[in-house]
């Protein structure tokens, strides 16, 4: 988040649009939610889609005012830039597509939930650890990530049988070239590095 604004607490729900976590409900977040809609699919013959859409929710008017300024060159009034900002407005085509899709979001989420429930009920291999939902939480199943010690072998088997899989973040962010300047090395974030080779997404 931009360093020119000071926040105490931010609730980042990322792609978990309309998800719920009981433990967060009474925390006085400055920014209550950040939603990130990535690769929003619109089915067409050419596979057109909208993507990279973010929405920020806050009941703090000062923060809301600053965020509105930041997304529009740092100005409240056109051409009168009060702070350094960015051009971060959703273009008309993506806005139009997303405006339609929002009316169908509950239906699309329901379909994902049914697929996830089918996986949870019918995958019975003891070597495959299935995702769990914490008490007091809801899952929107943006991803269905399983755990297996022989991830690559499992992935090859599934792909050979027509079941698509994907490895999200094969290189952990802290070891990527972009963040090399931070000085992290392979031994850092050991939990992340331990589980990373075991996690394919179905």
Domain boundaries, the chain: 10-103, 145-198
Element (H, E) at 94: helix 92-101
At 115 the pLDDT is 93
At 1 the pLDDT is 41
Task: Report phi then psi at 93, rounded to 5.
Answer: -65, -50
- Neighbour-count burial of 31, counting CB atoms closer than 10 A to its CB (0-12 exposed, 13-18 middle, 19+ buried): buried
Q: How far apart are CA 186 and CA 196, in angstroms?
A: 12
- Neighbour-count burial of 148, counting CB atoms closer than 10 A to its CB (0-12 exposed, 13-18 middle, 19+ buried): middle
* Predicted confidence (pLDDT) at residue 177 exceeds the cutoff of 60: yes
For residues 128 and 67, the model is more confident at 128
* Predicted confidence (pLDDT) at residue 47 exceeds the cutoff of 60: no
> For 95-147, how does the pLDDT look when each residue is reduced to its tens digit (9 = 90+)?
787 778 778 878 888 898 999 999 999 999 999 999 998 887 778 888 899 99
What's the average model confidence in pLDDT over 25-48? 45
At 198 the pLDDT is 93
Element (H, E) at 122: helix 105-122
What's the average model confidence in pLDDT over 30-37? 46
For residues 57 and 186, the model is more confident at 186
Mean pLDDT across the chain: 77
For residues 52 and 97, the model is more confident at 97
* Predicted confidence (pLDDT) at residue 49 exceeds the cutoff of 60: no
């Amino acid at each position: 988040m931009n360093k020119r604004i000071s926040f105490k607490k931010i609730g980042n729900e990322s792609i978990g649009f309309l998800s719920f976590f009981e433990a967060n409900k009474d925390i006085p977040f400055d920014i209550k939610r950040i939603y990130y809609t990535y690769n929003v699919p619109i089915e067409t013959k050419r596979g057109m889609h909208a993507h990279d859409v973010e929405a920020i929710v806050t009941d703090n008017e000062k923060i809301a005012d600053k965020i509105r300024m930041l997304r529009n060159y740092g100005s409240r009034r056109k051409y009168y830039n009060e702070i350094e900002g960015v051009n971060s407005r959703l273009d008309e085509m993506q806005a139009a597509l997303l405006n339609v899709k929002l009316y169908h979001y509950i239906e699309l989420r329901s379909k994902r939930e049914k697929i996830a429930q089918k996986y949870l009920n019918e995958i019975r291999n003891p070597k495959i650890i299935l995702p769990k939902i914490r008490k007091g939480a809801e899952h929107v199943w943006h991803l269905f990530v399983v755990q297996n010690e022989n991830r690559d072998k499992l992935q090859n088997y599934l792909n050979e049988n027509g079941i698509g899989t994907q490895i999200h973040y094969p290189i952990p962010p802290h070891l990527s070239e972009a963040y090399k300047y931070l000085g992290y090395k392979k031994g850092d974030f050991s939990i992340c590095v331990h589980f990373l080779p075991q996690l394919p997404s179905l």
